[in-house]
Homo-oligomer: A and B are copies of this chain.
Amino acid sequence: MLVDGGHPRRREPGIVTDVADRSGDKTRQVDRFDQRRAQLAMSALVTLSELGYARTSLREIAQNSEFSHGVLHYYFRNKAELITYCVKQYKAECVTRYDRMVETAETAEELKTAFGAATAATLRENARLHRLWYDLRNQSLFEKLFQAEVLAIDETLELMIWRVVSRYAELLGKPADFAPSTTYALFDGLFQQGLLKHLAGREDAARCLQDSVEQVLARLFTT
């Protein structure tokens, strides 16, 4: 658990983000506080995804942004909190994208193809951001500090995958044979290997990933 170090303005963030237009001063302040955090996180993602957690200094992040060095410490307790916030923010976006896909597809075949394509696309387009996620998850293996957050994100992803698979099952008219966690593990394994190869420069990494994702998705169900 994080201990509040007594920062004058620090508060548990995220509490009021959904309330748009309240007139209380306090509320507005909190809103601005969170807006600032989001803004900083967005900016930090550039550097962070480029260099990874361990190799990124807060100074570097500041330099590659329009913000000062000190402001990062003002809005985030420390580096750990910053990266967690960043990744969480990014992963939330990801989930949304997949969910739209699920809603759009009308046949099992269509969903399977869309899923494979989306996976390959994000591998190609967001390789760096995914790599940052894996970096954070890896950190969590060593620093208890990250564990809770990472586990939470991972669960979100597991659910996302599960929504895809459930929907596929529904369209197919068969129940899936694997547990959500197992299912997620399988696709995550595929994706990570794909990322490894993609970043190693293998041109066909994304295509291969697409194929294997489709193949595996189909095989989750007894023929």
Q: A residues bordering B, Cβ < 8 Å?
A: 2, 4-8, 47, 50-52, 54-55, 57, 59-64, 69, 131, 134-135, 137-138, 140-142, 147, 150-151, 154, 177-179, 181-182, 184-190, 192-196, 199-200, 208, 212, 215-216, 219, 222-223
Shortest CB-to-CB span from A200 to chain B, Å, is 6
New A-B pairs, 18, CB < 8 Å, besides A181-B193, A222-B223: A2-B47, A2-B64, A5-B60, A6-B59, A6-B61, A8-B59, A8-B69, A52-B142, A134-B138, A151-B196, A182-B212, A184-B193, A185-B192, A186-B186, A187-B189, A188-B189, A188-B193, A219-B219
- The distance in angstroms between the C-alpha atoms of A137 and B135, with both chains bound, is 10
Contacts of A187 in B (CB 8 A): 189
Shortest CB-to-CB span from A157 to chain B, Å, is 11
> Once the chains bind, are B223 and A141 in contact (CB under 8 Å)?
no
User: Which single residue of chain B is at the shortest CB-CB distance from A208?
Assistant: B181
User: Which single residue of chain B is at the shortest CB-CB distance from A1?
Assistant: B50
> Once the chains bind, are B62 and A6 in contact (CB under 8 Å)?
yes
Assuming the contacts A6-B63, A135-B141, A208-B181, asked whether A192 and B193 have C-beta atoms less than 8 A apart, the reply is no
> Once the chains bind, are A196 and B154 in contact (CB under 8 Å)?
yes
Shortest CB-to-CB span from A30 to chain B, Å, is 16
> Once the chains bind, are A195 and B134 in contact (CB under 8 Å)?
no
Partner of A219, one of B177, B185, B195, B208: B177
Shortest CB-to-CB span from A117 to chain B, Å, is 17
> Once the chains bind, are A190 and B193 in contact (CB under 8 Å)?
no
Contacts of A47 in B (CB 8 A): 2
Contacts of A5 in B (CB 8 A): 60
User: Which single residue of chain B is at the shortest CB-CB distance from A47?
Assistant: B2
Assuming the contacts A192-B185, A219-B177, asked whether A60 and B142 have C-beta atoms less than 8 A apart, the reply is no
Assuming the contacts A5-B60, A8-B69, A196-B141, asked whether A182 and B190 have C-beta atoms less than 8 A apart, the reply is yes
User: Which single residue of chain B is at the shortest CB-CB distance from A198?
Assistant: B141
- The distance in angstroms between the C-alpha atoms of A1 and B171, with both chains bound, is 45
Shortest CB-to-CB span from A53 to chain B, Å, is 8
Quick one: which of A2, A4, A223 has the most chain B CB within 10 A? Answer: A2
